Structure 1
Amino acid sequence: MNRISAILLIMAIGFSLLACQAEPLKGKNTVILALEQSPGNLDPRLGTDVSSARVHELIFDPLVTTDEKAEIVPHLAYKWESVEGKVYTFFLRPGVEFHSGKKLTAEDVKYTFESLLDESFFSPKKEHFRIIEAIDVVDDLTVRFTLREPFSSFLINVAGIGIIPQGSGDECHLRPIGSGPFKFRYYKEDEEVAFKAFNNYWGGRPKVDGIIYKIIPDSTTRVLALRKGSVDLVINAIPEELIPAMENEPHLKVLKKQGCIYSYIGFNMRDPVLANRKVRWAIGYAIDREAIIGSLLHNLATPASGILAPSNWAYEGEVTTFSYSPSQARELLDEAGFPDPDGDGPRGRFHLVFKTPTLKWARDIATVIRENLKEVGIDIEVKSYEWQTFYNDIIKGNFQLYPLRWIGATDPDIYRYCFHSQSLPPNGANRGSYQNPAIDRLIDQAKITTDTQELKKIYSKIQKLIAYDAPYISLWYNTNVAVMKNEIQGLTLYPTATFRVLNKIYIE
């Protein structure tokens, strides 16, 4: 049996044992939240899905974290120093304890990252940290990272890794121990994950005694659970069309804030029609975003101008955007060499296939966009596929147009991942084969620039060029929505919808 198979077997057995050993923690001062799916992995070095992140956010602390503008702020490290963007020294808070009672030291930090980088340890997060050349313990509360070259996104990547105790092995999958505000209690697979408040948390004991994540994949069941009172809080897991009904429930309240989930249409730049920028612009002008936001999204979104949301420190708002203008779209198509062959007749200027996943939001939006484009003479055929088939086609470049979303994009280096010519799959997400040497140069310059103001200027140029070239047509940023019982107080919604804020909530 290989190492990974053994780990999976241990996890399966361990989760079953934990579920049997632990008594449910349900009381008047416990808050029950609904999640859409089970966490993939409780180890912060391994889990990459949203539900895993929600577990990690309660149990573990990273060295640094991000604020509402996605700027780096202290966390376990109360400060840090950087020398030429290559050497980072972190100074740890004294007196921080793990849930086991052991003091957290620089040795734990060193172990966390070195174990992640160990070649025998498989982690999808490993690539973010291969730039590390050495990790040195200066003293119990000081740790130094030396990089092979400057990397402007190093700190935001560090913010994504919770610190684990030195020597943690495979049991980190089963009974995770961190230093976060809540202690892991038990996990009943596909049913619920339970946490207990950590009395000795360095940031102050949480105001509730416990948190339970109930796994409820079906949206109708989640809504019924809220209405019945068996669930206290749901964040970003209620369909937009049902939010108005939730607002009319006397025992519930709804909290909204603009988020950073970015929806867009991607183009295949190798397609002879879509390679023409005027055609891409025409499609941008032909789409009635405001109508879609109003009718399909129930005004729970705002028009987007690029991947980074307005809340982000690097956001540039003065870019090329496309307001709804069918007449302008027609003019651009004429200029691009695609005249309307029969005026108001049934024949289109050209035919395109719009691939979508079978997810309801994608199919509904594709239907409206098809009618928008038909109005300007573009014949659109919508083809829907199961998620894995759809996604495999997108990765392979087997598409003309597709709709997708970037969830929680806070690191401006996402422009490298999406648009650098060296980021074609499997090395990145430049699925449309976009190439622009000027963009490559700017992205490479941004990578080694550590001065924040200079970095902001570079990303401003990148955003302006990308918006002008239009390899994506920006659609909207979804609004974060929390629905909760009236008794739940103290919840703050960040653009990323982080669950780290749950240590501040209380029941009135």
Structure 2
Amino acid sequence: MKSSHLYRFILGWIAIFAIISSSNAMAATATKIRIGSQPVNALDPHFIASIADILVTEQMYHHLTFIDPSNNPVSDLALSWESPDGKVWTFTLDDGPVFSNGTPVTAKDVVFSYNRLRDPKIGAPTVKLYENVSEITALDDHTVRFTLNQPNPDFPSDAGDFHACVIPDGTKNPGKAHIGSGPYMIKSYFPEDRLILKKNPHFKGKVNLDEIHFIFSPDIGGQIEALRGGELDFVGGLTTEFAETIKNASNTKLLLNSANMHWVIHMRSDAGHVAADSRVRKALKLATDHQSIINAVRPGLASVGNGFSPVGPAFAGLHLVEKPVMDLEKAKALLAEAGFAKGLTIDLVAQNQLDVIPIATVWKEQMSKIGVTVNIQVIPTDVYYGEGENSWLKCDFGITDWGSRATPVTYFNLAYVSDGPWSSSHWKDAEFDDLVHQVGIEMKLDKRTELYHKLQRILIDRGPVIVPYFEKAVVGVSKNLNGVELPSDWARTRFWNASITR
């Protein structure tokens, strides 16, 4: 058995090395960095979802604002913003950025981009996020006004959502056009093995790198070996074991930051599915030992939070501090009440990425203690985020990755309200929906905090997810790579100021 695993590992590493060698031969004289990555799923920036999608688009596009390593909105395309009442927000734009097609960026491009992001007919995941926007107006070439239906104190953060990439006015097919105003643009794309970015010749800032090579492989172990061997320069989302390996190697180093990154075990809760019964959901929660999952999967690089909400400790006072409760006997009793006294069998879909399979394995063992049999179905990440029956939005139980967001309400609007576009649980709760609406427009911090705590209480009591832990952002890089600042969501890492010595 061990020989079989070793054989597959060696074959995986050889495949990565072959891809990298091919990439090196294509650009032997270029100053470049090589990123270990899962395959890209989407290149329309308004529809990106996976870590790989985000990591690529962050090199190509501006947003109005960007979320800094401390989770605050800072200038990106917008130099400044103001609002007298939280309802009318005016952004003043930098007059320097130019798209990769040579066209200067103007307020009209911002209006077009954000209108597309909020258009239900287009159907981007941000429709819910921007539904409070009633009108977007270009006051002149470099001033944009957003008029909201109701106040939103966090709108500058919302404007910096990773989907909110500014594209040229009138772009018909952004997924094929790939026109941004960031420092890089697509040179070539081979879906099975790599994507190569080159300099945007119209970018006015200093750019040290000629190219960025994204080398696709689902084998994180192979990526780590390639990093140690000097064939990659950046690998993200490390487990504790891999982090120790990188920390102890002579030619690599770690970058870390606090984050609200987390995995969600979602339980599909609409009619006809076993977790539609709140007693089943509660039983699975009561049988989950969060700290044991951390100890097995990510010791020293994660914290528990309150167990069943996406609002982690990184949100400080907005986070409801409450330790998850375990009670195996009560869990068994609840299952019996729900009609599963003799046991329950469920299928858990696990994407082949990072911590997912270890989490699934530990959780499966924990569930066996209350008579629940968990069948783990491992599928590629691109299949998990695809359209099939085992995809994240269709499967009964799945494990989904969530990056850091600037505000907790973003998670709620995307995946927890009844009409959330990424509601993998299909859970509906009228009281929860109403509170989400209230927290989104409340201008007073003390009242907003109270509402956030009520929302988390509902999720703890009857919500549709288990959050095993909140992890630190940790990536491994070559010791020769400099100028990279790690955001709280490492998928949003920008290499705009990166440099490397060989």
TM-score (norm 2): 0.76
Map 1:473-484 onto structure 2 (within 5 A). Answer: 473-484=466-477
Verify: 1:354 aligned to 2:346, yes or no. yes
User: Which residue of 298, 318, 324 corresponds with 1:321?
Assistant: 324
Cα deviation for residue 127 of structure 1 reads 5.4
Take 2:38 and 2:55, find their aligned partners in 1: how far apart are those partners? 11
User: Which residue of 408, 412, 419 corresponds with 1:412?
Assistant: 408
Q: Which residue of the partner structure matches residue 6 of structure 1?
A: none
Cα deviation for residue 466 of structure 1 reads 2.5
User: Which residue of 293, 299, 310 corresponds with 1:307?
Assistant: 310
Q: Which residue of the partner structure matches residue 147 of structure 1?
A: 148
Q: Which residue of the partner structure matches residue 96 of structure 2?
A: 95
Q: Which residue of the partner structure matches residue 42 of structure 2?
A: 40
Map 1:11-410 onto structure 2 (within 5 A). Answer: 24-27=26-29, 29-41=31-43, 43-114=44-115, 123=124, 125-126=126-127, 128-129=129-130, 131-150=132-151, 154-160=155-161, 161-170=164-173, 172-174=174-176, 176-180=178-182, 182-190=183-191, 191-197=193-199, 201=203, 204-236=205-237, 241-267=241-267, 275=277, 283-297=284-298, 299-305=300-306, 306-312=309-315, 315-322=318-325, 328-330=327-329, 332-333=330-331, 350-359=342-351, 362-375=356-369, 378-385=370-377, 386=379, 387=384, 395=393, 399=396, 403-410=399-406
Asked if 1 retains the 8 angstrom alpha-carbon contact of 2:129 and 2:414, the reply is: no
Where does the alignment leave 5 or more consecutive residues of structure 1 unmatched?
1-22, 340-347
| Cα deviation digits, residues 254-298 of structure 1 (max 9, x gap) | 333343332244446678998566x76665454333333223345
User: Which residue of 406, 430, 451 corresponds with 1:458?
Assistant: 451
Take 2:496 and 2:444, find their aligned partners in 1: how far apart are those partners? 33
Asked if 1 retains the 8 angstrom alpha-carbon contact of 2:305 and 2:321, the reply is: no
Take 2:255 and 2:428, find their aligned partners in 1: how far apart are those partners? 39
Cα deviation for residue 129 of structure 1 reads 4.1
Take 1:302 and 1:462, find their aligned partners in 2: how far apart are those partners? 20
For 2:92, give the aligned amino acid.
F
Asked if 1 retains the 8 angstrom alpha-carbon contact of 2:346 and 2:373, the reply is: yes
Q: Which moved more, 1:302-311 or 1:98-107?
A: 98-107
Cα deviation for residue 92 of structure 1 reads 1.1
Equivalent residue pairs, number: 459
Take 1:112 and 1:496, find their aligned partners in 2: how far apart are those partners? 23
Greater Cα radius of gyration, structure 1 or 2: 1
Cα deviation for residue 251 of structure 1 reads 1.8
Take 2:278 and 2:374, find their aligned partners in 1: how far apart are those partners? 21
Name the SS for the 1:503 alignment partner. coil
Map 1:477-492 onto structure 2 (within 5 A). Answer: 477-492=470-485
User: Which residue of 492, 497, 505 corresponds with 2:498?
Assistant: 505
Take 2:452 and 2:268, find their aligned partners in 1: how far apart are those partners? 24
Superposition CA RMSD, Å: 3.8
Take 2:109 and 2:223, find their aligned partners in 1: how far apart are those partners? 39
Q: Which residue of the partner structure matches residue 449 of structure 1?
A: 442
Asked if 1 retains the 8 angstrom alpha-carbon contact of 2:283 and 2:334, the reply is: no
Cα deviation for residue 62 of structure 1 reads 0.9
For 1:166, give the aligned amino acid.
D
For 1:406, give the aligned amino acid.
W
Take 1:301 and 1:151, find their aligned partners in 2: how far apart are those partners? 31
Take 1:162 and 1:84, find their aligned partners in 2: how far apart are those partners? 26
Take 1:320 and 1:290, find their aligned partners in 2: how far apart are those partners? 10
Cα deviation for residue 370 of structure 1 reads 3.7
Name the SS for the 1:45 alignment partner. helix
Take 2:74 and 2:48, find their aligned partners in 1: how far apart are those partners? 23
Asked if 2 retains the 8 angstrom alpha-carbon contact of 1:226 and 1:233, the reply is: yes
Take 1:100 and 1:336, find their aligned partners in 2: how far apart are those partners? 61
Q: Which residue of the partner structure matches residue 11 of structure 2?
A: none
For 2:88, give the aligned amino acid.
V
Where does the alignment leave 5 or more consecutive residues of structure 2 unmatched?
1-24
Q: Which residue of the partner structure matches residue 419 of structure 2?
A: 423
Q: Which moved more, 1:358-367 or 1:67-76?
A: 358-367
Take 1:226 and 1:109, find their aligned partners in 2: how far apart are those partners? 39
Name the SS for the 1:256 alignment partner. strand
Asked if 1 retains the 8 angstrom alpha-carbon contact of 2:484 and 2:495, the reply is: yes
For 1:368, give the aligned amino acid.
V
Take 1:167 and 1:433, find their aligned partners in 2: how far apart are those partners? 36
Q: Which residue of the partner structure matches residue 10 of structure 1?
A: none
Cα deviation for residue 79 of structure 1 reads 1.6
Cα deviation for residue 109 of structure 1 reads 1.8
For 1:490, give the aligned amino acid.
G
Q: Which moved more, 1:134-143 or 1:91-100?
A: 91-100
Cα deviation for residue 189 of structure 1 reads 1.6
Asked if 1 retains the 8 angstrom alpha-carbon contact of 2:153 and 2:442, the reply is: yes
Cα deviation for residue 476 of structure 1 reads 0.7
Q: Which moved more, 1:489-498 or 1:380-389?
A: 380-389
TM-score (norm 1): 0.76
Asked if 1 retains the 8 angstrom alpha-carbon contact of 2:350 and 2:398, the reply is: no
Q: Which moved more, 1:442-451 or 1:313-322?
A: 313-322
Take 1:130 and 1:276, find their aligned partners in 2: how far apart are those partners? 30
Take 2:333 and 2:349, find their aligned partners in 1: how far apart are those partners? 33
Asked if 1 retains the 8 angstrom alpha-carbon contact of 2:286 and 2:331, the reply is: no
Cα deviation for residue 334 of structure 1 reads 7.9
Q: Which residue of the partner structure matches residue 345 of structure 1?
A: none
Name the SS for the 2:348 alignment partner. strand
Residues 313 and 485 of structure 1: CA distance in aligned 2, closer, same or farther (over 3 Å): same
Take 1:349 and 1:98, find their aligned partners in 2: how far apart are those partners? 62
| Cα deviation digits, residues 110-141 of structure 1 (max 9, x gap) | 23334556788675545544554333221221
